[in-house]
């Protein structure tokens, strides 16, 4: 309600939303499906939230699709400071390095820290939950975050994979377990499509 939101808080929230605009200039390894350019992390976040809205019925028990959408809207904001670390870069090793995780945590604290304290704490907690991939909501969100770039690459003819020398076995190892855990029916579909693509 309005009484809980004095004018100073509104200015802080709008500064955060202005900062968020920078995510539209962070580029990812995969392209748009027409291969015209690389995808940016802002439009990727929209596409993922739409995935959650459309595919919520494939989530496991106890998943709250609205909460997954909130998680996905926020999940990449840290890349404003750190950039996107491609899943398949450095032979798949860079993505989960301790250095990357420390930088992302510092970024989350800075960026969510632009907000009034209670909202900052709420968003930081949602981001940490996504990163930990332990709750049903985070497990489903992570499944979608692994599945969407694979579909972008499939539908664009695999351009993003060629650049990083990605094999079917790499995808099975780096994408498969996450999608299978969070959305097994989607993994069944994706695995068939992937095998067909790499057999060609």
Q: Does 18 bind a second copy (CB under 8 A)?
A: yes
H or E element at residue 38 = strand 38-40
Q: How far is CA 91 from the centre of its chain?
A: 20
Q: Is 13 in the site for a second copy (CB under 8 A)?
A: yes
Does 42 participate in binding a second copy (rule CB under 8 A)?
yes
Both structure tokens of 92: 């798949």
Query: Scanning the structure block, which residue is given the tokens 């870069």?
Result: 89
Q: One symbol per residue from 154 to 173: x for binding a second copy (CB under 8 A), - otherwise; what is it?
A: -x------------------
CA distance 26 to 82: 9
In whole angstroms, the minimum distance from the beta carbon of 34 to a second copy comes to: 7
Instruction: Tell me the C-alpha distance between 181 and 63, whole Å.
Output: 13
Closest CB 92 distance from a second copy, rounded Å: 25
Closer Cβ to Ca ion, 76 or 137, answer by number = 76
CB closer to Ca ion out of 39 and 76: 76
Q: How far is the CB of 158 from Ca ion (least distance, A)?
A: 20
92 or 197: CB nearest a second copy: 197
Residue number, 74 or 166, with CB nearest to a second copy = 74
- CA dist 128 and 130 (Å) reads 5
* Cα–Cα distance for residue pair 44/28, rounded to 1 Å: 9
């Amino acid at each position: 309600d309005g009484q809980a939101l004095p004018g100073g808080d509104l200015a802080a929230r709008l500064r955060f939303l202005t900062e968020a605009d920078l995510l539209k200039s962070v580029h990812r390894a995969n392209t748009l499906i027409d291969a015209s350019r690389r995808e940016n992390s802002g439009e990727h976040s929209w596409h993922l939230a739409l995935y959650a809205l459309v595919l919520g019925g494939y989530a496991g028990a106890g998943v709250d699709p609205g909460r997954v959408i909130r998680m996905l809207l926020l999940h990449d904001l840290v890349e404003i400071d750190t950039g996107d670390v491609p899943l398949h870069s450095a032979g798949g090793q860079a993505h989960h390095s301790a250095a990357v995780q420390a930088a992302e945590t510092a970024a989350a604290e800075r960026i969510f820290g632009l907000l009034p304290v209670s909202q900052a704490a709420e968003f930081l907690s949602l981001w940490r939950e996504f990163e930990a991939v332990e709750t049903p909501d985070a497990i489903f969100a992570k499944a979608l975050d692994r599945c969407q770039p694979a579909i972008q690459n499939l539908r664009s003819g695999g351009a993003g994979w060629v650049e990083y020398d990605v094999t079917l076995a790499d995808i099975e190892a780096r994408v498969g377990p996450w999608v299978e855990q969070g959305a097994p029916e989607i993994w069944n579909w994706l695995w068939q499509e992937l095998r067909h693509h790499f057999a060609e």
